Structure 1
Amino acid sequence: MNLRHKSVDANKLIAVMPDLAVFIIVVDEGSYTAAAKKLGVTPSALSKQISRLEKALSVKLLERTTRKLMISESGTKIYEQCKVMTNAAKQAVEIASSEHTIPSGTLTVAAPKAFLSIVLQPLVTPFLTQYPDIQLKLKASDGEIDILSEGIDIVFRLTEHPSEALVNKKIGKVNLALCASPEYLALRGEPQIPTDLRQHDCIYLGETTTDHIWDFIKDEEFQSVSVTGRYAVNHSQMRLKGVIDGLGIGIFPDFVIKQALENGSVKEVLKDWTMKGNYQGDIALQFAQTKFMPARLRAFIDYVTEHLAP
């Protein structure tokens, strides 16, 4: 279908615009059921819209099978053009939003589970109290996030290598630390060098086949230790509870154990060694580049920076 040599009736264009937007969401979500859930409608209603769009365009967009939804060759070409259209529409909305003096609308934020519950959670109520016209959605995720495809406005990453495809604002730094309960150390002794950990019970994540291998650096010396223990859990607060209860030595981002260190529940060990691993480095607040930043996005960035930056 060559649109460059045909003039499109304005009324027809207006009529198909909503269905084109729905078409994009169905393709992005991969099924009518998922798209319907996102839009708050029924799958049959979406199916009717797509059928209406196919009839209006005189082209087959989606191939329906018993197992999955397949986009046709023509559908792929139309989808690509529709994405350009919706991105332009999104930018138009952002321009309008950036002009608002009162921040409003929905803001979706993703962050690692422990950082979300320990660091960001205390800011939620005061932020929403200060900005009553903002709706805040939080997503806990320790994996990689594609903010554009997942509809995320802001993602927090604890990393030494933030995504270069996104705007990056450094608001702090996270280090990894080892700790154990005073009772455990009194019973088993305190490790003096990383290789001493081989004689101790250690609590690790148990997520991968290599997360029991802990790497340490001191000056120019590097030590890699394969630790063992009777308990592994990939939930930081459960892991900390195990350490407090004397089950072994655990590794944590420093913000997780801050309160436990202050009240004496745990003691940091091997403080003169630097640990290398995941969930350390800069606290990177990242978002997509835009010429016109919505007021709600600016409000959240400013609020978090004010309350979390050193």
Structure 2
Amino acid sequence: MDTNKLIALMPELAVFKIVVDEGSFTGAARKLGVTPSALSKQISHLERELSAKLLERTTRKLVITESGKGIYEQCSTILEAAKQAVEYTSSEHTTPSGTLTVAAPKAFLSIILQPMVTPFLTKYPDIELKLKARDGEIDLISEGIDVVFRLTEKPSEGLVLKQMGKVSLSLCASPDYLERRGIPEHPTELLNHDCIYLGETATDHIWDFVKDDEFHSIPVKGRYAVNHSQMRLKGVTDGLGIGIFPDFVIKNALKEGKVKQVLTDWTLKGNYQGDIALQFAQTKFMPARLRAFIDYVSEHLYQYTAH
């Protein structure tokens, strides 16, 4: 395909991405200020030019085809490059302004990042900050996310990585519970205790412990499960059982004597521990708002994670 045809297809590729993002021609038309039929004609023309079916149209919904998925990824990359080109020549390249979208695990977002929001927005009045609580895998480009925080021992490849500290997992219970039920001295003793787990998957009640060459996989049980860190901590402080938490979740409760750590000579294996990894897409021209956010978090994060 020659250059003139490629240039002519650019608007239609952008339209295709927006239609997929909105989930319908009606939603995309509302966003672009045109009619659904006009967008449908553009997508049909794009399909003819690419000799590929991109969308399956039904009366109720649109379904993206396998070919469409591949084209969508390329469209996301193209639009991201266009965004960077615009930002490079705009005041955003020198003055922190515009929208910044940040994703992070729920507990990290509410406990660590939330206290920084007001001071950051006060310091940078031209930045609009959007936070998303996300615990799973994230595709930054297709989801329009600028920065993602991960608590992991294996940061995502292909993204710029800035290590912001460390997080470890801790096992704890209330003093009242330990007085009533006893302090476990070995992971296998958890079989005789009430434990509070996430209840998200069929296996997250199985807790793995390592010490030197010794390994134990313990199927714990209990009457309470909740996939919300603060609610799980409340259950622990109320004496309902023993729970596992990232250390920043229980930091204050430990200081106040509301919980005590147990089995501290064992290492817990699981998610949400390792590096505090701040990651973002590689770019030659970093927007000033992104640089401002990274610098601010780097300067202030230690206040919330320091032991």
> Quick one: structure 1 residues 224 and 108, their matched pair in 2 at CA, closer, same or farther if it must change by over 3 Å?
same
- The equivalent residue for 1:280 is 273
Distance in 2 between the 1:244 and 1:198 partners? 20
> Quick one: structure 1 residues 75 and 206, their matched pair in 2 at CA, closer, same or farther if it must change by over 3 Å?
closer
Contact 2:16 2:43 in 1 (8 A): no
- The equivalent residue for 2:127 is 134
Pair 1:151 & 2:144 matched = yes
- The equivalent residue for 2:294 is 301
Distance in 1 between the 2:65 and 2:77 partners? 19
> Quick one: structure 1 residues 176 and 33, their matched pair in 2 at CA, closer, same or farther if it must change by over 3 Å?
farther
Q: Alignment partner for residue 193 of structure 2, among 200, 218, 224?
A: 200
Q: 1:149 is paired with a residue of what secondary structure?
A: helix
- The equivalent residue for 1:178 is 171
Contact 1:59 1:74 in 2 (8 A): no
Q: Alignment partner for residue 124 of structure 1, among 92, 117, 130?
A: 117
* Shift, 1:64, TM fit: 2.9
Contact 2:76 2:142 in 1 (8 A): no
> Quick one: structure 1 residues 49 and 298, their matched pair in 2 at CA, closer, same or farther if it must change by over 3 Å?
farther
Contact 2:93 2:285 in 1 (8 A): no
- The equivalent residue for 1:270 is 263
| Letter aligned with residue 129 of structure 1 | T
After TM superposition, list the pairs within 5 Å mapping 1:231-242 onto structure 2: 231-242=224-235
- The equivalent residue for 1:53 is 42
CA RMSD in angstroms comes to 3.0
TM value normalised by structure 2? 0.86
Q: 1:211 is paired with a residue of what secondary structure?
A: coil
Q: Alignment partner for residue 17 of structure 2, among 24, 28, 32?
A: 24
Pair 1:225 & 2:214 matched = no
Q: 2:125 is paired with a residue of what secondary structure?
A: coil
* Shift, 1:86, TM fit: 2.8
Greater displacement, 48-57 / 281-290:
48-57
Which structure has the larger Rg over C-alpha atoms? Answer: 1
Distance in 2 between the 1:77 and 1:249 partners? 46
| Letter aligned with residue 102 of structure 1 | T
Contact 1:159 1:279 in 2 (8 A): yes
Unaligned runs of 5+ in 2: none
Q: Alignment partner for residue 237 of structure 2, among 237, 244, 265?
A: 244
TM value normalised by structure 1? 0.85
Greater displacement, 139-148 / 55-64:
55-64
| Letter aligned with residue 39 of structure 2 | I
Q: 1:137 is paired with a residue of what secondary structure?
A: strand
Deviations 1:207-252 (A, max 9, x none): 1111111111122222221111111111111100000100000110
Contact 1:22 1:46 in 2 (8 A): no
* Shift, 1:24, TM fit: 2.3
Distance in 1 between the 2:69 and 2:129 partners? 33
Unaligned runs of 5+ in 1: none
Contact 1:203 1:248 in 2 (8 A): yes
| Letter aligned with residue 280 of structure 2 | F
| Letter aligned with residue 135 of structure 1 | E
